Homo-oligomer: A and B are copies of this chain.
């Protein structure tokens, strides 16, 4: 089945916003084995929307039209799709009542145009909007099913996940023999990781695809057309082989995992508290920990020790250590981690000191970063990260945080 995604919006055509919706939809469709080979973007002009929908009707059997369902004059998608398909628009009375009630509750004056958000395409079904006011529609004409979705990413994602996908699975009897599994990695360039995974898989029926997030890589393993037990076995074997080879970069299998969340989970399971003294990262490690809901169970607080003086004053790095080895050194990193741990009476203390760039420091080029992990009753481990100045200031800081989180993950795992 050919699939087409049409994105609608002046702000897309003008490059004012990045189109995250199309990537999200394509990714969701891929999980039910649908690939949208045709993807086009048009502005809010009715003639261009109509032309795009008509073109799509000729070459695809499943067509998505995304964006332009707001209440203003700019929003021409629903009437344009109706015109392209030769359909009437129908008022959903229940939804119109919901919109009115919503405005009343918020004490906001409704404009007459808001009724437009309660219309959908005749002979189709209305797709509920779990977080916004505009209805979506799904309608089949001849051999083509057309789906209309709203533009704001939060509404778009909620409608795709909660209203559209269940309907698609029902209408297209999507085979359930596709089984996927998500593995998570950090610290290895994506191209290298995927080369190694592809060679590890050899001629296995497992297909691996990667999805890059800032500082993390998600790899989805997929098998299809197999009996469930065999599929699970095949995935188990492939997963085990990949983890064995990429052990040092791997941090978990599952949906919605992230490295900081995993570290907080492991710390919590052990009843450990952690703290930090951060120089070049300037608080980014602690801020990343605190992005995890429930971080307060494992983190009381810590230090940003940017200047040499702050390293001495806040976490007691001896002035002699800094004089002898410099601030960019394993020795200073060790003293920072131990000093922070003691100051906060925590189980673990981590530290970051180095050169984010662009300028060199103490003769060290940008990308020279030392980190340390101090743990109660263990010798402190300090090491230099493998980073280069070419990465730029922000990536050096992000990668530093990610690599220490990964080291913590492995340490806490090994304790089990």
Interface residues of A (CB under 8 A from B): 12-20, 22-30, 35-43, 48, 209-212, 276, 278, 280-287, 289-291, 293, 295-296, 299-307, 309-311, 314, 344, 356-359, 393-394, 397
- Quick check: B212 and A16 within 8 Å, CB to CB? yes
CB contact under 8 A between A25 and B35, given known A283-B283, A314-B301: no
Interchain Cβ contacts under 8 Å between A and B, 26 examples: A13-B35, A13-B36, A13-B37, A17-B23, A18-B18, A18-B23, A19-B22, A37-B48, A38-B40, A40-B40, A278-B283, A280-B290, A282-B289, A282-B290, A282-B291, A282-B299, A283-B284, A284-B287, A286-B306, A287-B287, A290-B304, A295-B306, A301-B303, A301-B305, A301-B306, A301-B307
A22 and B27 within 8 A (CB): no
Contact, CB under 8 Å: B291 / A283: no
- Contact B287–A282 (Cβ < 8 Å): yes
Task: Indicate if the CB atoms of A295 and B282 lie closer than 8 Å.
Answer: yes
Could you tell me the distance in whole angstroms from the C-beta of A315 to the nearest C-beta in chain B?
9
Say yes or no: A209-B14 contact (C-beta < 8 A), given A39-B40, A291-B393, A310-B301. Answer: yes
Of A38, A283, A394, the most chain B CB neighbours within 10 A belong to A283
Q: Bound complex: CA of A18 vs CA of B27, how far in Å?
A: 10
Shortest CB-to-CB span from A101 to chain B, Å, is: 17
Do A18 and B20 touch (CB < 8 A)? yes
The 6 closest A-B pairs by CB, nearest first: A282-B290, A283-B283, A15-B26, A301-B310, A15-B27, A283-B286
Q: How far does the alpha carbon of A304 sit from the alpha carbon of B306 in the complex, in Å?
A: 13
Q: Specify which of B20, B295, B306 is in contact with A296 (CB 8 Å cutoff).
A: B306
Q: Does A282 contact B286, Cβ atoms closer than 8 Å?
A: yes
CA distance in complex: A359, B300 (Å): 18
A394-B291 contact in complex given A14-B30, A20-B18, A303-B301, C-beta closer than 8 Å: yes
Instruction: Kindly provide the distance from the CB of A30 to the nearest chain B CB, expressed in whole angstroms.
Output: 5
A14 to B38, CA, bound (A): 11
Residue of B nearest to A393 (CB): B293
CB nearest to A55 among chain B residues: B55
Q: How far is A25 from B13 in the complex, measured between Cα atoms in Å? A: 10
Contact present for B42 and A13 (CB under 8 Å): no
Docked pose: A282 CA to B302 CA in angstroms: 9
A287 and B283 contacting across the interface, CB-CB below 8 Å: yes
Given A15-B30, A30-B15, A301-B314; A358-B293 close (CB under 8 Å) = yes
